Structure 1
Amino acid sequence: MDKAAVDILLSTFNGEKYLPDLLQSLEAQTFREWKLIIRDDGSTDETISILQKFKNNSGRSVEIIESDANLGPCKSFLTLLKYSEANYVMFCDQDDVWLPHKIQFLLNIAKNEELKYNNKPLLVHSDLIVTDRNNSIISQSFWKYQNINPKRKKLNELLVQNNVTGCSLIINRKLADLVCTSDIGIIMHDWWIAIIAAALGEIIYTNNKTIMYRQHSNNDTGAHLFFSIKHMKTKLINRSLISSVIRTIEQAQIFLHLYSGFLNKQQVELISQYAKLPKVNIFKRILFLFSRKFYKDGLIRNIGFLLAVIFINSPRRRIQSEAKPR
């Protein structure tokens, strides 16, 4: 394959039920110069057999990395990134269905934007169609379904809320080489990559849908209708919200530790202030959030976020000194 090819990174775990639909949708892509790199995360069902059959019969370039270790999706996807050498990289979930134009459409945008931004680190992502386990449409727009605004792509915005879905994105080699592949302190791989892109490159979004995003009870992460009574209670009452905000602060600490040498003075100051938020008094916390525009999407999220910030204590600092961007 030439250097313009795309690497598709697929992490699997007990995916026998939906994996055939995904693989069929990859075969149906209008863009053909892709390589599929798969890491199985310790499946105990027929996943490996399905993957081996696909590799033997498809005629596509397929690499399967088998492992008994269950790393979870974040670490598994970051591990996969170490095996990628293509100019463009995409991430793939085992239970989705890609629309036939997905690779070609996102690749065209990425190449055009690279010219516009002089080959800077680049992330392009799209909206998704939300479906149920039978692939029947629940919502024509994941962003509307989740009350997500893709225009919010600045560093301060992405430090507190991710709006980039991993299975909908494509990144260029410049960005891929900047991604630290240690998962220490990282909440999720797509969120981590989005923060890097916001700080050191460009994030481009398109309202076009490129994927059928399947929802079922076994999803690790998924879409849930945002404006529901249950969701409101979860956001405003559940104590785990405080823990989730602490994790964003820990993630900011890790990011600052690993990438401070790549950041400008203003970015270092912004991240440092957010990372030190639990150490200042409540009034200074609130003033910082409003003055530096640390907001989330939607009133409910912001009320929950503000309450969590008021009640947080200083998080445990977790630093991985060995892992550095390439």
Structure 2
Amino acid sequence: MKAQPQLSIALASYNGEHYISEQLNSLMRQTRLPDELVISDDASVDATREIIADFTRHAPFPVRIQANDKRLGSTRNFEMAIRACRGEIIFLCDQDDVWYPDKIAVIEERFNSVPSIGAVFTEADVVDQDLHPLAKRLWSASKFSPKEQAQVAASDALGVLLRHPVATGATMAFRSTYRNLVLPIPEIIWHDAWISLLISITSYLEAVPTPLIAYRQHSANQIGIRRDHHGQSCSALYGPRALLYGSAHRRLLESTKHFSAGEQKLHRLDEAFRFFSTRAALPESRWRRVPIALHELMALRYHRYAHGLATFFKDLRR
């Protein structure tokens, strides 16, 4: 009989006294308990550390706590937790959500069933600060369409991720064999978009359509559900995406000895980087944007890396 993989949870905390107890209790109610919980606390100044310390005294699994002396920020704090995990599969965990009892068991089963999968992410119920359901589930709120879900199921997660991030870290787990590829995480890049993108290029992502967490939205969310902001400039809106794709391309070129990307995927990543760089540099004058955007449209990049004519006209009007 094959031994169960060792499972780690990487939890990043910061001033989470209002919600972290509910999250920690939900980890204790898992039908498949983790083999360890690693908490990296980002210099909290409220009661978070005391709540965590109390939890460790009765947790049914080992808990290791790392306390940062000064604030590192969300991305670097997650990196600290991920780096300290000892398991073969690493679950990312936000401090303010609630995991449903079968989350770990369902995701572990997917890894065990398909050894080629590098990472798994799932659907979630979007809830308010009191855990009351909101109108949409996470995938709908993130505009992760049924067509794109089918594309991920057909082993082309990269094609979706080059349009927009869809894998939310709070629902994600990945094999620790990819840790040396994804770490360190560039400082101003979303950790979940970075991890899912790199693993989609060097392995496979699986999207599980079952909601396995209550994804809490409240006024203190550091990320929450990402939304398009129509008032943003092209530079502010598209610059971070160009940075994501350009940084990922460089990391993959640096890691070819240990992680195989393939020329076609690297080409798609580089083309997406150039497309978003071009959009980020669109001039303020709408008339001057026309020939630049039209060139990208005729090259079909608006169709491959955005939503075709709809996005093209939005860029002209923005």
Task: Give the TM-score band, short-chain normalised.
Answer: 0.7 to 0.9
Contact 2:297 2:303 (8 Å CA) reproduced: no
Indicate the residue corresponding to 1:206 in structure 2: 208
CA displacement, residues 154-211 of structure 1 (integer Å, 9 cap, x when unaligned) = 3243134100011111212333343132324x52111011101211111111111100
SS in 1 for 2:10: strand
Identify if the C-alpha distance between structure 1 residues 182 and 146 changes in structure 2 by more than 3 Å, giving closer, same or farther. closer
Quick check: 1:39 aligned with 2:32?
A: no
Aligned equivalent of 1:130: 126
2:248 is aligned to 255
Match of 2:289 in 1: none
2:305 aligns to what? 294
**Change in CA separation of 1:241 and 1:137 when aligned onto 2, cut-off 3 Å:** farther
CA contact (8 A) 2:17 2:51 kept: yes
Aligned-pair distance for 1:306? 4.1
State the Cα deviation string for residues 225-278 of structure 1 (Å, max 9, x = none): x7xxxx6xx33xx12453131111122111111102332222222222333344
* Structure 2 counterpart of 1:276, from 249, 274, 277: 274
Return the alpha-carbon distance in structure 2 between the equivalents of residues 113 and 250 of structure 1.
32
1:299–1:85 CA distance, 2 compared to 1 (3 A): farther
TM-score (norm: length of structure 1): 0.81
* CA spacing shift, 1:156–1:207, aligned 2, 3 Å: closer
Corresponding residue for residue 137 of structure 2: 141
Q: Which amino acid aligns with 1:8?
A: I
Q: How many residues get paired?
A: 291
What residue number does 1:157 align with? 160
5+ long unaligned stretches in structure 1: 115-119, 312-326
Contact 2:27 2:33 in 1 (8 A): no
Q: Which residue of 2 aligns with 1:285?
A: 296
Greater shift, 147-156 or 13-22, is seen at 147-156
Cα distance in 1 for residues equivalent to 2:224 and 2:214? 12
* Counterparts of residues 55-70 of structure 1 (less than 5 Å): 55-70=56-71
Task: Letter of the 1:256 partner, please give it.
Answer: H
Q: How far apart, CA to CA, are the structure 2 residues paired with 1:249 and 1:85?
A: 33
> Sequence identity of aligned pairs in percent?
23
How does 1:177-326 map onto structure 2 within 5 Å? 177-184=180-187, 187-223=189-225, 234-235=229-230, 238-260=231-253, 261=256, 262-277=260-275, 278=277, 281-290=292-301, 293-295=304-306, 302=311, 306-307=315-316
- Mark the CA change 1:176 to 1:292 in structure 2 (over 3 Å): closer, same or farther: farther
Preserved CA contact (<8 Å) 1:107 1:170: no
Q: Which amino acid aligns with 2:170?
A: C
Moved more, 163-172 or 77-86: 77-86
Q: How far 1:80 sits from its partner (Å)?
A: 1.6
Kindly tell me: are residues 307 and 82 of structure 1, through their superposed partners in 2, closer, same or farther at Cα, counting changes over 3 Å?
farther
**Taking structure 1 as reference, are residues 21 and 293 closer, same or farther at Cα in structure 2, changes over 3 Å only?**
same
- Partner in structure 1 of residue 287 of structure 2: none
Q: Mark the CA change 1:112 to 1:304 in structure 2 (over 3 Å): closer, same or farther.
A: farther
Shift of 1:121: 5.2
2:172 to 169, 184, 189: 169
Q: 1-side partners of 2:195 and 2:186: how far apart?
A: 12
Tell me which residue corresponds to 1:321: none
Letter in 2 for 1:255: A
Query: In structure 2, how many angstroms separate the alpha carbons of the residues matched to 1:204 and 1:304?
Result: 32
2: distance between equivalents of 1:110 and 1:99?
18
Aligned match of 1:94: 95
Cα shift at 1:305 = 6.6
Q: 1:259 to 1:56 in 2, by over 3 A?
A: same
Partner residue, 1:316:
none
SS at match of 2:298: helix
- For the 8 Å contact 2:117–2:206, the answer to whether it is kept is no
Which residue of structure 2 lines up, in the alignment, with residue 113 of structure 1? 114
Change (3 A) 1:104 1:51: same
1:307 shift after superposition: 4.3
- Range 187-196 or range 264-273, more displaced: 264-273
The answer for unaligned runs of 5 or more in structure 2 is: 280-291
